[in-house]
Chains A and B, each alone.
Chain A
């Protein structure tokens, strides 16, 4: 029973990841693609890892609590937390670096970093 629920969660994670990949291919701008690939690192990882964690509990099904494999839930929790935190940090850093270096999408209505001072560029002396 728990096996089937875990399989359904993993299948939902695969569907969400497919949506993210389609967005990464089809979206027109860099910022839109970043929006699409964030889906993979949050909802896709969460659903897949819920399935993996449930599989650990499936081995103790039927009252045999000593047979629960706790490695599955623990590793799934670490993966989910690191994927979410790392995804947020890297998205922020990458978007900020691109905006300050002039990699800016064309059809931008409001650009709040337009009058920000240019980043100090530290070139190595040749």
Chain B
């Protein structure tokens, strides 16, 4: 449980980069890294509670997190979605 709280605390500075990134790519990178750290934190939460069924949540988060970045990259490249 302290490890999950540590992950949450360590991922807080990414919000700063998300808030004032100079370009849109910095914001996208910070968002992607934030989702990954949140998935790690949730996996450690499931270990701390001793229930392996909670691991489905970080699995779905990690599998679906790459789609948002790809959509934003396409929007940067083409100017529209």
Contacts and interface: CB of A to CB of B under 8 A. Distances in A.
B79 A21 contact: no
Interface in B18-41: 22-26, 28-30, 32-33, 36-37, 39-40
A114 to B, nearest CB: 17
Interface in A21-75: 21-22, 24-25, 30, 33-34, 37, 40-41, 44-45, 48-49, 51-52, 55-56, 69, 71-72, 75
- For the complex, would chain B's binding face be called helix, strand, loop or mixed by DSSP majority? helix
Contacts of A124: 80
A90 B26 contact: no
Contacts, number: 158
A11 B3 contact: yes
Given A30-B26, A90-B32, A17 B76 contact: no
B33 A25 contact: no
Interface of A: 6-7, 10-11, 13-14, 17-18, 20-22, 24-25, 30, 33-34, 37, 40-41, 44-45, 48-49, 51-52, 55-56, 69, 71-72, 75-76, 78-79, 82-83, 86-87, 89-90, 93-94, 96-98, 100-101, 103, 119-124
